Amino acid sequence: MPLQSSFLCRVPCEVLEEISVNVALLDAPVGPPTALVPLLLTCKHLYNTLGLHSCSDVYARIFRGSFDCRAARRRLGEKAVRPSHLAAQLKRNFATLRRIRAGNLVHDELEEDLWAVWLMCLENDGKNELQLDWAGVDDFLVQFLRTRLWHARETYDNWPAEFTINALAIWIYWYRLDEGKLATLNSETRKLLLDRIRPYALAAPRYASFLAPDNHFCIPLPRRIDDEYERVLVTPHGWYPQYREPSMCVELVEHFGLKRELSPPLIAQGAKLLYISLSEMPFTIDPALPVNREHAMQMGRNYVNPTQTDLIEANAHKAVKLIGRGDPEWTQRLTEEQRRLEDDGAWRKGLKAISAALDEEWNRMVGCGNPYEIKPKGPTYAFGTLTGLWKGLLLVPDTDQYFALVNSARLPASFSSQNPLVVGYPMYANLREHHCIMPEMPIMPGGSEDENDDGISNAWFPHCRIREAGGFVTITDEEHGFVSRYETFVEGRDNSHNPETCTACIRERELDEVEERERIEEIMAAAASNAEYPDDDTNLVRVRKQVDAALGPNTDADELIDTVMSEVTSDDASSLAESDGCIENTCSGITDIAITGETLPRHGQAWHHFYFYGRVRSWDGLVAIVRVPMIPQLGVYIFRGYIVAGNFVGSWRLRTNHVRAIPLEGPFVMSKV
C-alpha cells in the first residue's frame, strides 16, 4: 500500500468518522451538513472513506443528530433505523428541505416533497420542526395555499380539486400552527386562507370526511358494494354515501429507504381543523347579561341562557387543541424509567413524545386505505381517550343556502363567508367510555343490510335500551332480546380481561399449538427421511435425538407438543424485530367500545341539556355519537369523526328518517377541557 502524504489520510477510519460527525453537527444541527463538504473534497481517499456510498454509519449518526427517529422505530421497527436506511432518509430529507427553501411552487417533485414534509411532521419530537423552520415551510405553504390550492379547478366545475398535494399542504399548515403564529397572523392572510379552504370544510357531500362511508360499522365491506346499483344515490358530486375507489386512495411513498403504501390524509378533515382554528373568535360578553347563574335566578331568568360566567368559561378553552412547539432536549426532563419506555420502540399509552399523539393517524394511513380488505396495523384508537369533559364548537350553515350549495354541480359564484352563512355554537359533553370484554359478546350493529346501512343514525346501535349502573353498561337489543354488558373504563384500573377465558387468547394459543406441532412434524419427517438404520426402534431413537437437538437442550418434544404455546421463540422474536413494519398487538380483550354521557348541569343551563350515546368503529377509529336534546324541537344530531392529536374532529349531521337522504351537515371540533 503506498504511503499517504497527507496526515489526514493516515488517521484511522474510526477517528475520521468521529471527526466527520462532529464537523457536520458543529454548529446548530439545522440545514444540510455543508461543513462536511470541504473535508470530503480534501482528497480522493477521504471522499471514498467518508462518502455516503461507503460510510452509512456516519450519516446515520448525523441523521440522529439532525432529525427525530423515535417515531420511525416505534412505527416501522428496527429495520427503519438501520444505518443504511437512516443515511438514505438523511439524503432525502435534506434534498426536500433545500427545494422547499428555494420556494419553487411548480416542479415535478413537489408532491413527493410535501409527502416527506408531512412525514417529518408526523415524526416530529422537536428536531424535525427546527429543520422545517430552516426551510421556511410556513411561508412556502402560505404561497401554495394562496396560488396553487385552487389550481385546475375549472376541470371540476370550479370546485377545488381533491388532490393529494392539496391535502398535504392543508394538513402540514395546520400541524405547524401554534398560538404564537395564530396571534400574529394578519387579517388579510387569515381571510385568504379561510376563503381557500372553505369549500373543503363545508361541502360535505363532495369531499369525504371518512376513510370508509359512515353508514358501515362492519369492515371489510362486502364486495357487492362495488356494484353501482348497490350505491343507489347519485348526486352532483358523485355517489352518496362516498365510496372511494381504493386504488385512488393508496400511494407508494419512499420513506426510510423503502417504498411504502400510504393513504393520504383526508382533505376535508384537515380543512375542518384549519378552518375552525382560523375562524374561532371569543364570544362577546354583553354586560347586560346576568353575572352568574345565581344572579340570573335573582333576575327571574330561570330558562336556558348563558351568563357572563358561562361565556368567560367558553372563551377560556378553544375548540381546537394545537400541537404546539416541541423541544429537542425534551428527554432531559424525563426520569430514567420514562426514557427507557420512550426508547424501547413499543407503542403504549402515556408516551411523552409529541409524535405519539399522532400514532393513530399514522396507523390509519398505513392500514385504512382499502375498506374491502383488512391489513395489519397498530391501534387506530387509544382506549379511554373519550372519557372526560369535552368542549368544542359546531358550525351550523344556513339551511337553504347549504342545500343550494351541495345541490349545485358547479361551485356557485356567490359562494363566500356569507353564503352559506355559518354560525358557531359552543358544545359540551361529559363522556364515559365502556368496553365489551371477551368472552362477552358485543351488541350487533343496527340498520338494514338491504340499505347497506349499519345504523349510523343510531350510532351503529340497533333499536336498544342502554342502562348504566355500578360501573357497567347493559345494552339490550329490543328486537332480538340479546343483552350485552360493557365495563366502564377507569384510568389506571385494569379491566376484567382474563387470558384463560378470553376467546381471542384461547384461539391464539390454539393457533400457536398447531403451528408448533407442524414445525415438529416437519423436523421429525426430515430426520426420518435421512435415517438409514436397520430396525424401526433404532431409527426412532436417532430421529428423537435429532428432534431434541433441533429444539435445544432444555426442550422436551413431548412436553412441548402437550403445552399450549403463547409466546414466540427467540428466533421468531428476532425476525419480528427485523421485519419491515411488523405489528404485534397485545390482546386487551376489548371487542367493542360504547360511549355514554351528558351535559353537566351548568353547561346545560347555559347551552341546553343533552344526553349522548355512541360507538367506535374498530377498523379506523371512527367515532359516532348521537346527541339527544331534552327539548325535542332542537333536533337529534349525529357527530362522526376521528381523534387527531387530542381533537375530536369531523362532521355533525341531523338525524333523518331515510338512510339515503342527504342531511344538513357541518363541521365540528372538540377537545378535552
pTM beyond 0.75, yes or no? yes
Q: Which domain holds residue 560?
A: 503-565
Of the candidates 565, 586, 613, which is a domain's last residue?
565
- Residue 487 in any domain: the answer is no
Dihedral sign for Cα 15, 20, 21, 23, please: positive
pLDDT digits (tens, 9 = 90+) for 269-327: 999 999 999 999 999 999 999 999 999 999 999 999 999 999 999 999 999 999 988 99
pLDDT digits (tens, 9 = 90+) for 587-615: 888 999 999 999 999 999 999 999 999 99
One-letter identity of residue 169: A
pLDDT value at position 47?
67
- Residue 43 in any domain: the answer is yes
- Contact of 581 with 260, CB cutoff 8 Å: yes
- Residue 441 in any domain: the answer is no
Cell (9 digits) for 21: 460527525
pLDDT value at position 45?
67
- Residue 541 in any domain: the answer is yes
- Residue 540 in any domain: the answer is yes
Number of domains in the chain: 2
CB-CB neighbours of 526 under 10 Å: 13
pLDDT value at position 579?
42
Of the candidates 20, 41, 66, which is a domain's last residue?
66
Dihedral sign for Cα 165, 166, 168, 169, please: positive
CB-CB neighbours of 263 under 10 Å: 20
Three-state SS string across 362-391, please? HHHHHHCCCCCCCCCCCCCCCCCCCCEEEE
Of the candidates 536, 565, 594, which is a domain's last residue?
565
- Residue 628 in any domain: the answer is no
User: Across-strand partners of 235?
Assistant: 238
- Long-range own/partner contacts, residues 445-451 (CB < 8 A, 24 or more apart): 445/217, 445/218, 447/215, 447/217, 447/659, 448/659, 451/659, 451/660
pLDDT value at position 402?
98
- Residue 516 in any domain: the answer is yes
Report the C-alpha gap between 67 and 33 in whole angstroms: 12
- Residue 510 in any domain: the answer is yes
Residues in the chain, pLDDT under 70: 1-8, 10, 12, 27-28, 40, 45-47, 49-50, 226-232, 527-585
CB-CB neighbours of 187 under 10 Å: 7
pLDDT value at position 36?
78
The strand ranges marked E within 182-329 are: 233-235, 238-240, 251-255, 258-262
